[in-house]
Amino acid sequence: MQPVDAFRRVIAAAQGAEDGRSIDPNDPEHLKDQEAISICQALMYSALPMARFECMVTVEGIGPGSKLGLGDYTACALTIAGVKNGLIGLSMEKVTVYVRLWERMQQGSEMLSGYQGDTKTLKFRNWLKDIDRWDAERPQPETQVPLVPQA
């Protein structure tokens, strides 16, 4: 079963549960649902926890000749330096953005910083320099999110 098929199957099973359909544990389709759930959990536990920092960017306006389009973008990395590498290109184009920097933790996510305005300005470059302090001030997590669910 491919990961995309597994996600489709989990969504369909969830919709069936909402509709009130009963589940027979001996039904072969139920076993396929369980396989799909296992695949989805493995993907979630192995792929999502890899990014400690997540920066969501919404491009609200573009200048003339800009190669960027309007829309939402995300830069994720284990370190702030990795996030900055994803954002540094914005300072080359004149765009208006709304940026939110988050740290993911086991208890949930916490917003660390934000920026709203034009990117080809000293204010944006200073904000990029300023976010380095979050890496220095925040203690490294003592325990990582488990890659395999613990029973």
Note the pLDDT of residue 147: 43
Residue-wise pLDDT tens digits, 48-104: 556 788 899 999 888 777 777 788 888 888 888 889 998 988 888 889 999 999 988
Note the pLDDT of residue 139: 61
> For residue 118, is pLDDT > 80?
yes
Task: Provide DSSP, 104-123.
Answer: EETTEEEEEEEEEEESSSHH
pLDDT band with cut points at 50, 70 and 90 for residue 115: very high
Note the pLDDT of residue 20: 59
Question: Is residue 22 helix, strand or coil?
Answer: coil
pTM of this structure: 0.58
Question: Is residue 102 helix, strand or coil?
Answer: strand
Residue-wise pLDDT tens digits, 14-41: 666 655 566 666 677 766 777 777 777 6
Contact in structure between 101 and 55 (CB atoms under 8 Å): yes
> For residue 151, is pLDDT > 50?
no
Q: Which residues fall within 8 angstroms of residue 117, CB to CB, at 6 or more apart? A: 96, 97, 123, 124
Contact in structure between 74 and 57 (CB atoms under 8 Å): yes
Residue 26, CA distances (Å) to 31, 53, 70, 106 in order: 8, 43, 50, 35
pLDDT band with cut points at 50, 70 and 90 for residue 114: very high
- Answer left, alpha or beta for residue 22, where phi above 0 means left and psi between -120 and 50 means alpha: beta
Measure the CA dihedral 43/46/52/54, to 10°. Answer: -20
Rounded CA-CA distance 132/135 in Å is 6
Contact in structure between 96 and 60 (CB atoms under 8 Å): yes
Note the pLDDT of residue 32: 73
pLDDT band with cut points at 50, 70 and 90 for residue 145: very low
